Chains A and B, each alone.
Chain A
């Protein structure tokens, strides 16, 4: 009975360790792609600047990301998540090599959840402001500034994409880590 149990274990062991290694490699790849996404978003939003060629006494026709505090929060949140992702990349590379990590996966899940909340908050707050800039609001009498600031609007709309992609990837990362924990 012992021999057959051992045989069963050794015949299952390469497959299960292969799946574990696959999960860990996927973890590293997704983390890297999310890092690229947040970096691109932060840079695209941070370098927005548009000055219109006419001006009056009352209104200045110049737009930057720092004029809207929500977009500033977006840049800061994306920078923090970007830094976290690049710092956690070595940890997940270690998980490929040494699958018997006890506490590090748990710590990774904890910080991944915190970073998911942060990047989601930044991305969706910026999305609300971008929507407001595109459509305006009739009741509150808020004008749609995209009518005048074309390239500024395009830039801030495009930079949201990278952030949302990073949010979905962080979600997948948490689920992957949980599955890896459950299989151990």
Chain B
């Protein structure tokens, strides 16, 4: 008798690991109530270890798992552009082969405070994205962690503000460098410094991409907090 119930328990656990609790209670019709805790603990021990049934779980759980995974992947995806932008601006250094008495034809990011600010903020954002990866993973593994998601949302919002500020300031300087300004008599320096201009323009674009990804992360975190709370 006990062997028969053990066989049923094993079949139920292996066949439908995700939906185990509901179906196993229908197997144990009422005869062995002592066996009921054992299947639930078995499935509880199995659930954190198996990745596939977690995502394929029916209803809201699978969606939460999906969104958690997308959150993690987007964080890794946003880390690339910010790091690339920081490095690209940091190593932008161009010396022209002509020089006169009055002007030095040498441009680095140091000469423009906006670019220095841009590099620092992108470095901070890249570091933050790496540090937030464990928290995001904790949010996937523990479905009930609303506090972690709230913390990530707050920090993401602050990062969006900082990163947008840095990217916009650098974009303003890059725009003036490309077009110049007639009224203020500012010469467009991109006519001479080609490589410098290309590098900085590319870095600004990459930074704006990272801002977009961070905004998607904020909205997703808000969705997740709302649906976790409603259950």
Tell me whether A and B are bound partners. Answer: yes
List residues of chain A with CB under 8 Å of any chain B CB: 59-60, 62-63, 67-70, 102, 105-106, 109-110, 113-114, 116-117, 120-129, 131-133, 137-143, 145, 167, 171, 174-175, 177-179, 181-184
CB-CB < 8 A to B186: which residues of A?
Answer: 132, 140, 142-143
CB-contact partner of A171 in B113, B158, B168, B189, under 8 A: B158
Q: For the complex, what is the distance from the CA of A133 to the CA of B173, rounded to whole Å?
A: 12
Could you tell me the dominant secondary structure of chain A's interface residues? helix
Interface residues of B, CB < 8 Å — how many? 50
Chain B 84-105, CB within 8 Å of chain A: the 1/0 string? 0000000000000000000110
Q: Are A125 and B171 in contact (CB under 8 A)?
A: yes
21 contacts between A and B (CB under 8 A): A62-B183, A67-B181, A67-B182, A70-B175, A109-B219, A109-B222, A114-B215, A116-B160, A128-B172, A131-B114, A132-B176, A139-B104, A139-B112, A140-B186, A141-B103, A145-B184, A167-B161, A171-B157, A178-B225, A182-B225, A184-B226
Q: Are B218 and A175 in contact (CB under 8 A)?
A: no
Query: Is B33 an interface residue when CB atoms closer than 8 A count as contact?
Result: no
CB-contact partner of B184 in A67, A123, A175, under 8 A: A67
Would you give the shortest CB distance from A138 to chain B, in whole angstroms? Answer: 7
Q: Are B169 and A127 in contact (CB under 8 A)?
A: yes
Would you give the shortest CB distance from B72 to chain A, in whole angstroms? Answer: 20
CB-CB < 8 A to A117: which residues of B?
Answer: 160, 164, 211, 215
Among listed B2-10, B19-27, B54-62, B146-154, interface-contacting one: B146-154
CB-CB < 8 A to A142: which residues of B?
Answer: 176, 184, 186-187
Would you give the shortest CB distance from B150 to chain A, in whole angstroms? Answer: 5
Q: Are B172 and A129 in contact (CB under 8 A)?
A: yes
User: Which residue, A60, A117, A167, A179, has most C-beta atoms of chain B within 10 A?
Assistant: A117
CB-CB < 8 A to A138: which residues of B?
Answer: 111
CB-CB < 8 A to B211: which residues of A?
Answer: 117
Q: Are B177 and A140 in contact (CB under 8 A)?
A: yes
